């Protein structure tokens, strides 16, 4: 059980979100970096459904598992401080935001740490944009429209639809479960997608007929900088000094949007719509960032330089399949490691 001492830039609860409600104007929400969310959940529980290790299946049977997945904390940029009300296991993943305990012990991402009662976890800031913190069994939270994910813009999910603030208590679904401590994500086998230095892929379209004939080429050829306006609703891109933006996008008849859609507004500075973004938009979409690249979008932070490369949908699907396979391989290895440690402890299971 944790208490928020300071929320930092933005602290929210996220599960896998509420897809399928865009016809009501509800964005899917969910983790901005889905890879790291899954890693936090898998480390905390050894299983993607949050039902916990086999030994605790009987406990989880009492409480039905949330259809949107277990709830994790999404930490943004830094400044966040959390105090352990009781000793607990904390799974950490995502960007390395400089997490450490108040005694100076560094908390590396990709590992389950034991945090003693009274200790404080601080995120001083580091590289990347977001870190995820999971508790065994998931964090207890109320579902709104089928999900606990916080969507601040629409005041949905989390605690009263707002970002977490000082004094909020983050309680696990069940208490005192320390079995996962020490479990480590095999980063060499399944590295975070943001380790890649390749341009971020986008599938061109669907609104190319409303854009300049060489718009895709111009977007691809430029190097962009992530603007300060970079949040869960959208990521604005700006050209580097002395470089032109794209030709202005002109208003079109609005059509449904989805996360990853790269809109070209009137000032020619593209905006990548993201997980809490608008479900309908009126500027042309030059391309859509495919699912496998979302973890990298979730780790973009203001000031980062970024380039893009066109990719056909089929290649993007193949990349998605490889990413799922890597996640599965990492899970198997992390689970195997845990079994080995328990044997070494003579604990059995």
Partner 1 sequence: MPEGRSEPPAPRIDQAGDAALIASLGDDLDIETSGWALRAAAWLERRRAEMPGLGAPVPGHASVLVSFEPDRMSENELRNLLLAALAGTRQRAQRGRVTRSEIPLPFDGGVRHEIPVSYGGSDGPDLAEVAGRTGLSEKQVIALHASVEYRVLVVGFMPGFPYLGFLPAALDLPRRATPRVRVPAGSVAIAGRQAGIYPFETPGGWHLIGRTDAALWDPGRDPPALLAPGDRVRFVPIPPRRPHP
Task: Select the residue interacting with partner 1 from 114, 174, 225, 317 (CB under 8 A).
Answer: 317
Task: Select the residue interacting with partner 1 from 56, 279, 326, 327 (CB under 8 A).
Answer: 279
Question: Quick check: 20 binds partner 1 (CB under 8 A)?
Answer: yes
Of 87 and 279, which CB lies nearer to partner 1 in the complex structure? 279
Question: Quick check: 221 binds partner 1 (CB under 8 A)?
Answer: no
By three-state DSSP, how is residue 349 classified? coil
Using CB under 8 A, which of the segments 42-50, 219-227, 273-281, 337-345 binds partner 1? 273-281
Cβ at position 160, least distance to partner 1 in Å: 11
Cβ at position 197, least distance to partner 1 in Å: 22
Question: Quick check: 32 binds partner 1 (CB under 8 A)?
Answer: no
Cβ at position 70, least distance to partner 1 in Å: 21
CA–CA distance, 144 with 122 (Å, rounded to integer): 29
Task: Select the residue interacting with partner 1 from 205, 239, 248, 302 (CB under 8 A).
Answer: 205
CA–CA distance, 310 with 215 (Å, rounded to integer): 12
CA–CA distance, 207 with 211 (Å, rounded to integer): 7
Question: If you ran DSSP here, which 8-state letter would residue 335 be given?
Answer: H
Question: Quick check: 267 binds partner 1 (CB under 8 A)?
Answer: no
According to DSSP, the β-strands at 200-204 and 308-310 are: parallel
Task: Select the residue interacting with partner 1 from 77, 90, 139, 156 (CB under 8 A).
Answer: 156
Whether the CA torsion 224, 225, 229, 235 is positive or negative: it is: positive
Of 108 and 155, which CB lies nearer to partner 1 in the complex structure? 155
Of 5 and 153, which CB lies nearer to partner 1 in the complex structure? 153
The CA-based angle 56-174-34, given to 5 degrees, is 85
- For residue 272, the tally of other CB atoms under 10 A from its CB is 25
| Strand (E) or helix (H) holding 333 | helix 313-345
Of 142 and 240, which CB lies nearer to partner 1 in the complex structure? 142
Cβ at position 255, least distance to partner 1 in Å: 4
- Full DSSP string of 129-192: SEEEEE-TT-B----BTTB---BGGGTBSTBTTB---TT-EE-BSSS---TTTT-B--TTTS--
Angle of helix 313-345 relative to helix 34-45, nearest 10 degrees, comes to 20
Question: If you ran DSSP here, which 8-state letter would residue 59 be given?
Answer: H
Cβ at position 235, least distance to partner 1 in Å: 15
Number of residues this chain uses to bind partner 1 (CB under 8 A): 43
Task: Select the residue interacting with partner 1 from 121, 261, 272, 338 (CB under 8 A).
Answer: 261
Cβ-based burial of 100 (10 A; exposed 0-12, middle 13-18, buried ≥19): middle
Residues sharing a CB contact under 8 Å with residue 203, sequence separation 6 or more, in sequence order: 287, 288, 289, 290, 310, 311, 312, 313, 316
Question: Quick check: 48 binds partner 1 (CB under 8 A)?
Answer: no
CB 221 within 8 A of CB 302: no
Question: Quick check: 148 binds partner 1 (CB under 8 A)?
Answer: no
Question: Quick check: 278 binds partner 1 (CB under 8 A)?
Answer: yes
Using CB under 8 A, which of the segments 57-65, 114-122, 212-220, 245-253 binds partner 1? 245-253
Interface residues toward partner 1, by CB under 8 A: 19-26, 144-145, 153-156, 203, 205-207, 251-258, 260-261, 278-281, 285, 288-292, 313, 316-317, 320-321
């Amino acid at each position: 059980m944790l208490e928020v001492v300071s929320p930092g830039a933005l602290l929210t609860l996220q599960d896998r979100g509420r897809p399928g409600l865009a016809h009501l104007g509800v964005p899917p929400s969910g983790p901005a970096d889905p890879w790291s969310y899954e890693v936090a959940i898998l480390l905390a529980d050894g299983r993607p459904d949050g039902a916990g290790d086999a030994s605790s299946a009987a406990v989880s049977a009492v409480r039905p598992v949330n259809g949107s997945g277990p709830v994790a904390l999404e930490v943004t940029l830094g400044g966040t401080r959390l105090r352990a009300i009781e000793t607990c296991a904390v799974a950490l993943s995502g960007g390395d935001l400089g997490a450490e305990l108040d005694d100076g012990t560094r908390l590396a991402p990709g590992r389950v740490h034991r945090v003693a009662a009274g200790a404080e976890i601080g995120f001083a800031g580091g590289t990347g944009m977001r870190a995820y913190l999971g508790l065994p069994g998931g964090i207890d939270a109320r579902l709104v429209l089928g999900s606990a994910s916080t969507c601040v813009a629409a005041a949905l999910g989390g605690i009263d639809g707002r970002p977490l603030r000082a004094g909020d208590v983050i309680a696990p679904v069940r208490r005192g479960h320390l079995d996962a401590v020490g479990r480590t994500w095999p980063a060499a086998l399944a590295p975070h997608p943001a380790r890649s230095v390749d341009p971020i892929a986008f599938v061109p379209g669907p609104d190319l007929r409303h854009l300049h004939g060489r718009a895709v080429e111009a977007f691809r050829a430029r190097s962009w900088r992530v603007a300060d306006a970079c949040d869960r609703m959208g990521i604005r891109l700006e050209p580097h000094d002395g470089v032109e933006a794209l030709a202005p996008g002109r208003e079109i008849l609005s059509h449904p949007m989805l996360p990853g859609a790269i809109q070209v507004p009137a000032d020619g500075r593209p905006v990548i719509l993201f997980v809490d973004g608008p479900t309908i938009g009126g500027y042309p979409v030059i391309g859509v960032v495919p699912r496998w690249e979302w973890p990298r979008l979730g780790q973009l932070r203001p000031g980062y330089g970024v380039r893009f490369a066109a990719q056909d949908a089929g290649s993007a699907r193949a990349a998605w399949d490889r990413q799922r396979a890597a996640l599965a391989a990492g899970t198997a290895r992390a689970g195997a490691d845990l079994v080995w440690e328990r044997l070494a402890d003579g604990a059995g299971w």
